[in-house]
Structure 1
Amino acid sequence: MSMRFSAMLAFSLMATPVLAAGGGGSTGTDTTPPPPKVSPMKCKPGQVAKVVMKMGKKKTICVKVMGSNLDDRDLYHQGWVLAKAGEYDWAIEVLSSIKNQNNADVLTMLGYSNRKAGRFEVGFAYYDQALALDPKFIRAREYLGEGLVAQGKIDLAKVQLDEIRKISGTGSEEYKDLAKAIDTGI
């Protein structure tokens, strides 16, 4: 399947909590709802999946990101799925259409997408914004640390690892993932 023309977009408009106004993870644990259970939907770049009622039945269709009238939660989930699938520029387009940009989760995923697309400084700026909103947001610290590892700045990555340890201990997924990245240099 061509990345340019279509991608598997995991999506469902199941009832999940809406993103908080600030961001998740203020206690050192991730409070962002997990991505919804998946039902595959193929959309073209610049589009998102939307559930509509047709003849009394729910149907999922692809619509342009701008003007989709999807709520922030649904746009966040679709942006998250796209970013994790390696569709970074498409994810940025979807995440940038979220109305509440003053959200640590949104800023972190924008940072992740830009960093993974090779725009490290842009990604780091988004992580800084997320951490300004919520200094204890360990996912932002993990991704920032991973970016620092990718740049060979292991000492600075270890600072982020230590911050995660102070916030959530050594048992969190974020701590373990960043520790592994530091150990392997990846």
Structure 2
Amino acid sequence: MAALSCGALLLGLALAAPAALAASDEQQNAAPSGGGGGAAANPGTSAGKSVNRTDLTTCMPGQVWDPKKHKCLQRHSGVLPDSDLTGYANALLKADRFEEAIDVLDLLDNPNTPRALNYRGYATRKLGRTDEGIGYYLRSVALDPAYPQVREYLGEAYVIEGKYDLAKDQLATIEKICGKDCEFYGELEKALKDASAL
């Protein structure tokens, strides 16, 4: 009888193991069908916690989110189209994963788009390399002078450097592009006020 109970227990464990492994893989590769940003649930550091399925940044370092397959893939050149990689880099930026965002941007076939340069500028600025970030922002502005987000970030970089007149110039340009009600105007205006420059 004991041998039968032991055999039944082993059979039960053998049948349960693949299901447990599949659930573990599903949690590690989970992410939403769209959207993204906000605080990240990092399965690498949150043992025992469930993965936030509404956050693109649930992919582990070294992976990227595939919005078509709805799973994380190993990061390598050509893994996804530039638009998907740029979107994932933005999600990483929103989760303060700046080095990883740069790594993803390094995979782009065309890294010289206004959006990619803006995100690279933001990541490098947030890593304390403000002058380098400004260089990327200026390249983005040269490609698309009417891109208000890069104007906000460039202005914020100028605030960091104490170049308030240059930051105010960016604020005025944002106002012309999208008005004072534009979120980018509000963010740069706040940065200037916080620095007592307005």
Higher share in helix: 2
User: Which residue pairs with 2:72 in the alignment?
Assistant: 61
Q: Counterpart amino acid of 1:88?
A: F
Structure scoring higher RCO (CA < 8 A, sep ≥ 6) equals 1
Displacement after TM superposition at 1:163 (Å): 1.1
In the superposition, relative to structure 1, how do residues 144 and 40 fare at CA in structure 2: closer, same or farther (>3 Å)? closer
Which of 61, 64, 71 matches 1:45?
Answer: 61
TM-score in terms of structure 2 length: 0.68
Q: Is the 8 A contact 1:111 1:127 kept in 2?
A: yes
Which of 144, 149, 162 matches 1:139?
Answer: 149
SS of structure 2 residue aligned to 1:61 = strand
For residues 108-165 of structure 1, the C-alpha deviation after alignment (integer angstroms, 9 at most, x for no partner) is 0111111111111111111011011011111111000011112222221111101111
For residues 74-117 of structure 1, the C-alpha deviation after alignment (integer angstroms, 9 at most, x for no partner) is 11111001111111110011012111223111110111111111
TM-score in terms of structure 1 length: 0.72
Structure 2 unpaired stretches of 5+: 1-27, 38-52
Structure 1 unpaired stretches of 5+: 1-7, 15-33, 53-57
Q: Is the 8 A contact 1:154 1:182 kept in 2?
A: yes
Which of 179, 183, 189 matches 1:169?
Answer: 179
Displacement after TM superposition at 1:12 (Å): 4.3
In the superposition, relative to structure 1, how do residues 153 and 137 fare at CA in structure 2: closer, same or farther (>3 Å)? same
For residues 9 and 105 of structure 1, what CA distance do their matches in structure 2 show?
Answer: 26
Higher share in strand: 1
Displacement after TM superposition at 1:9 (Å): 9.5
In the superposition, relative to structure 1, how do residues 71 and 168 fare at CA in structure 2: closer, same or farther (>3 Å)? same
Structure having the higher Rg: 2
Q: Counterpart amino acid of 2:96?
A: G
Displacement after TM superposition at 1:38 (Å): 3.2
For residues 99 and 142 of structure 2, what CA distance do their matches in structure 1 show?
Answer: 24
SS of structure 2 residue aligned to 1:49 = strand
For residues 65 and 183 of structure 2, what CA distance do their matches in structure 1 show?
Answer: 29
For residues 158 and 152 of structure 1, what CA distance do their matches in structure 2 show?
Answer: 11
For residues 113 and 9 of structure 1, what CA distance do their matches in structure 2 show?
Answer: 24
For residues 29 and 97 of structure 2, what CA distance do their matches in structure 1 show?
Answer: 10
